[in-house]
Homo-oligomer: A and B are copies of this chain.
Amino acid sequence: MTVNSDQNAEIEAQRSAAQPTRRVVAKGLEEILYQIVPVLDHGFIRVIDYMGDDSAIVQAARVSYGRGTKRVSEDRGLIRYLMRHRHTTPFEMCEIKYHCKLPIFVARQWIRHRTANVNEYSARYSILDNEFYIPNAEHLASQSDANRQGRSGVLEGEEAQRVLHLLRDDAENAYMHYAEMLNENSQEQKPYPERSGLARELARMNLSLNFYTQWYWKIDLQNLMHFLELRADPHAQYEIRAYADAMLETIRHWVPHTFQAFMDYGIGGVRLSSGALEIVKRLINGESVSREDTDLSAREWSELMAILGIET
């Protein structure tokens, strides 16, 4: 269960209360404001506040370039120009705030992006809920032999059953002992009055990395796109990619012109080294090029062929 009925009621209350504002309003994003977008088995993201929209980016660019931007007749073209030429600062003028519920091992990857503001649920102050992530069978990947960082194939049969059993059993065990060590129920009373109860900040260390945590995460649009470029990438771990994909959808609602430009230049774009560009030019000229004719390593070569859709 991702949210309980109390939380649902609170979300509905937030959604039903509209007030007038003089600020820029992003109509598409207002539609989904506060709504839960489920991710993984118990997680979610939801947008809880934002600042700006496509027009705010254009406005900021026009402040920078002054009369110089008068000639760019329309917003969409200007936004594409800015993204193509890495004029990143206008995109920093938009800001978004998410409420996320996510497994701790995902939070540990996520937090590496430093240019954001975070308020995380504190297990020093409060007691964590008994919720942990168990992968669906289709995501129970085996270790790739070729690639340290990769998955390859999916566990099957008995091995899969055994893994699911171990993950679930160990997590339940860990939580049961966490609760026992705390010796504190939800009314903050002691089930065993003769025991003191271990400090929360210590008891939490018994929980495993698939337990869920929560945070508010606030970031500007430029840094959000950088985050998504890395985390919506096929090389990212599936579990964080699931969050990145859900966030991509919120951008589509929020800043449609920027979203489209980002899909073209960011997510869908590729980078070629100077050596790779030389090869591309030779191929366009109709030359037949083999790796031996180039300076590329075997790995670079196969990456380039994959980008160009050439079978090797």
* Chain A residues at the B interface, C-beta cutoff of 8 Å: 14-15, 17-25, 30, 33-34, 49-52, 56, 59-61, 63-69, 77, 80-81, 84-86, 89-90, 92-93, 95, 97, 99, 103-105, 107-108, 111-112, 114-115, 117-122, 124-127, 133, 135, 140-144, 148-151, 153, 155-156, 159, 162-163, 166-167, 170-171, 173-174, 177, 180-182, 184, 195-202, 204-210, 214-216, 218, 220, 230, 235, 237, 263-265, 268-275, 277, 280-281, 283-284, 286, 297, 299-300, 303, 307-310
Which residues of B are found within 8 Å of A77, using beta-carbon distances?
297
CB-nearest residue of chain B relative to A30? Answer: B22
Q: 27 A-B residue contacts at CB 8 Å?
A: A22-B33, A51-B95, A61-B119, A63-B99, A63-B120, A63-B214, A63-B215, A80-B297, A89-B112, A89-B119, A93-B97, A93-B119, A111-B112, A117-B220, A124-B237, A126-B148, A142-B199, A143-B197, A167-B181, A170-B170, A201-B237, A204-B209, A209-B209, A269-B272, A269-B277, A271-B272, A280-B308
6 nearest A-B pairs in the assembled complex, by CB-CB distance: A66-B126, A268-B274, A68-B125, A142-B196, A68-B148, A92-B117
Partner of A119, one of B63, B120, B126, B201: B63
CA distance A18 to B23 in the complex (A): 8
CA distance A310 to B307 in the complex (A): 21
Q: State the copy count for this chain.
A: 4
CA distance A204 to B235 in the complex (A): 18
B274 touches A264 (CB 8 A): yes
Instruction: Find the residue from A63, A99, A283 having the highest chain B CB count within 10 A.
Output: A63
